[in-house]
Chains A and B, each alone.
Chain A
Amino acid sequence: MKVKFFATYREITKCKEAYIPTQPDVWSLLHYLSGVYGPEMKAKLFTADGNDIGQDAILLINGRNIAHLGGKNAPILDTDTISLFPMVAGG
């Protein structure tokens, strides 16, 4: 599966995208990414108590926000592209 990184996440991963072994769902994906990219990544992806997705992580699966696909339990397929953004805005 493909994960694309944007804005401040690129500073942590030092790359724009990565192909990683397919994870069954979003929650597993977040743990996998924390394992690969370290504590700085973990701090953004998880809340302080580790029980929920961090405020500074917006996740899209094929362009759809996971909030509408099952949140942290949203399933992931081989062919999916995940996009990871910090809280961003404009207007």
Chain B
Amino acid sequence: MSKQLVVKPEKCVSCRTCELVCSFEHTQQFNPKLSSVTVINYEEALVSVPVMCMQCEEACCLKVCPVGAITRDEQGAVVMHPDKCIVCKMCMSACPLGNISFSPITRKMFKCDLCGGDPNCVKFCPSGAIQYVDPTENPDRKKAVAASFKEVFGEEV
């Protein structure tokens, strides 16, 4: 089962390191506007959320591309092929989550490609707010719930 990026907003400290390393990995430049992940801040709620492509099972961008410039790779990532891309921007409209962007530097579309299976945002996030896990297992949360039961019932001996 291919892994998926999972976001834990409660851990996000809004440092935007993910934006920096994503743009650098793909363009050798530091530029949040060239990053496929963006941190959105909700100031009053005191929450921030890193947002990136969710590699949809039924990817609208893939389906709508008229020249087949978007395909799925072995990691299950939906990836862009800039050499085929004609920059019609239909994928940008098709994505319901706003996760496809246009780069004014390369003048092509870009999106998260999971870094070929070793996502940089995950590697460099200092707080573990972005993780790369098998989405069919949610061990952390299930274990945490089980531990609460253990504490409650364990006392009645």
- Judge A-B direct contact (beta carbons within 8 Å): no
Q: Residues of A at under 8 Å CB distance from B? A: none
